[in-house]
A = this chain, B = another copy of it.
Amino acid sequence: MNPHFGPVALEKAYRLINHGPTVLVSARRDGVDDVMAAAWACGLDFSPPKLTIVLDKATKTRALIEASGRFAIQIPTAAQVELTRHVGTRSLHDEPDKLTRAGVSLFAVDRFDLPLVAGCSAWLACRLIPEPHNQSTYDLFIGEVEAAWADDRAFRDGHWQFEAAGPEWRSLHHIAGGHFYAIGEALDAPS
């Protein structure tokens, strides 16, 4: 186990996605694991923390989530830009060894039957809040965050550490066609 892996208080979990990073979505059902990339993930509430995620009907990950009612959201790092691109453009439907080819290594946490992607900076374990109209009409899914964790080299004491961590820890923000920006410099605006 990565010694830098540790829990994030639920009331701070929204901070893991508040800056709009591209995320990896993972799910498991009947021994099948999948991971996909998604730029359309977003905070929805603070307490209990909720989030939205848009999942195309063509993805295997969506089918696993609909069947299991669970998913994980994780924040990939600049060091994982090729992995992120790979899982975001190939489908488990067409490439059964997609995760191996993408270089994805999975791990699990006690009490959570979810495939978590090693090397990310943060992870959120979510329970699907079923909203059939949103899911069928808009491909829009709502999750309640039940637990969160981070690598303390990237997020510690409730704060991202981008200023001090190496550039390989920066979050990824996809525009289109494999063109990303890493998160940049801190700017503060006291009220």
Report the interface size class on chain A: 35 or more
Chain B residue with Cβ nearest A21: B20
Q: A20-B19, A52-B140 are in contact. Are A178 and B190 (CB under 8 A)?
A: yes
A50 within 8 A of B: yes
Contact status B175-A191, CB under 8 Å: no
Q: Which residues of A1-26 have CB atoms within 8 Å of chain B's CB atoms?
A: 14-15, 18-22
Partner pick for A183 among B45, B84, B89, B183, CB 8 A cutoff: B183
Interface residues of A, Cβ cutoff 8 Å to B: 14-15, 18-22, 39-45, 50, 52, 54, 78, 81-82, 84-86, 89, 133-134, 138-140, 142, 159-160, 162, 167, 170, 172-176, 178-191
Whether B185 lies near A181 (C-beta < 8 A) is: yes
How close is A150's CB to chain B, nearest CB, in angstroms?
Answer: 13
- By a CB distance below 8 angstroms, the chain B residues around A20 are 19-22, 39, 42, 173
How far does the alpha carbon of A39 sit from the alpha carbon of B51 in the complex, in Å?
12
A14 to B186, CA, bound (A): 25
A186 touches B191 (CB 8 A): no
The distance in angstroms between the C-alpha atoms of A85 and B190, with both chains bound, is 8
A-B contacts, 15 of them at CB < 8 A, read A14-B176, A18-B175, A40-B44, A42-B42, A42-B54, A44-B54, A44-B138, A52-B52, A81-B188, A89-B191, A159-B175, A172-B187, A178-B189, A179-B188, A183-B184
Q: What separation, in Å, do the CA atoms of A114 and B9 have in the docked complex?
A: 40
List B contacts of A159 (CB < 8 A): 175, 179
Nearest chain B CB to A36 CB, angstrom units: 14
CB neighbours (8 Å) of A54 from chain B are 42-45
